[in-house]
Amino acid sequence: MVKLSKKEVFTLLGISFSCIIITVLFSIVAFQLGTDSVPNSIKEIWTRWDAYHYIFIAQNWYPKPDDQIFKEKENAFLIAFFPFYPILVRGFFFIVKNYELSSLIVSNISYIFSVFYLYKLVRLDFKQKSALLSIIYFSVFPTAYFLHAGYTEGLFLALTIASFYYARNSKWMLAGVLGMLALFTRITGIILFPSLIIEYFNQKKFKFKNIRKEILWLAIIPLGLVAYMYINFETFGSPFQFLNVQREHWGMNILTPAEGAIDSSNVIRDHPPYFKMANGFMQYFFVFTGLILVVYSFLRMRLSYGVYSLITWWIITATGRWISVPRFTLVIFPIFIALSIFSDREEIHFATIFTSIMLYALFLAHFVKGNWAF
Domain boundary assignment for the chain:
6-368
Give the per-residue pLDDT at 251: 62
Helices (H), the chain: 6-35, 42-46, 50-60, 84-96, 99-123, 128-139, 153-168, 172-183, 192-203, 223-236, 241-250, 257-270, 273-276, 282-300, 303-317, 325-329, 334-342, 346-368
- Give the burial string for 244-283 (b: 16+ CB within 10 Å, else e): ebbeeeeebeeeebebbbebbeebeeeeeeeebbbbbebb
Contact 163, 308 (CB under 8 A): no
Give the per-residue pLDDT at 278: 72
Give the per-residue pLDDT at 250: 63
Give the per-residue pLDDT at 252: 65
User: Which one, of 89, 76, 66, 83, lies nearest residue 230 by Cα?
Assistant: 83
Give the per-residue pLDDT at 344: 77
Give the per-residue pLDDT at 176: 98
Q: Residue 165: which residues within 8 A CB-CB, separation 6 or more?
A: 117, 120, 121, 124
Give the per-residue pLDDT at 73: 54
Give the per-residue pLDDT at 297: 87
pLDDT digits (tens, 9 = 90+) for 229-256: 999 999 989 999 988 888 776 666 667 7
- Read off the pTM: 0.94
Give the per-residue pLDDT at 153: 97
Contact 289, 281 (CB under 8 A): no
- Give the burial string for 83-118 (b: 16+ CB within 10 Å, else e): bbbbebbbebbeeeeebbbbbbbbbbbbbbbbbbbb
User: Up-side HSE of residue 272: CA atoms within 13 Å toward CB?
Assistant: 1
Fill in the DSSP letter of residue 322: -
Determine the distance from the C-alpha atom of residue 252 to the mean position of all C-alpha atoms in its chain, rounded to a whole number. Answer: 18
Give the per-residue pLDDT at 253: 67
Q: Residue 183: which residues within 8 A CB-CB, separation 6 or more?
A: 189, 190, 192, 193, 221, 222, 223, 224, 225, 228
Q: What CA–CA distance (Å, rounded) separates 36 from 308?
A: 43
Flag residues of the chain having pLDDT under 70: 70-75, 249-254, 267, 271, 275, 373
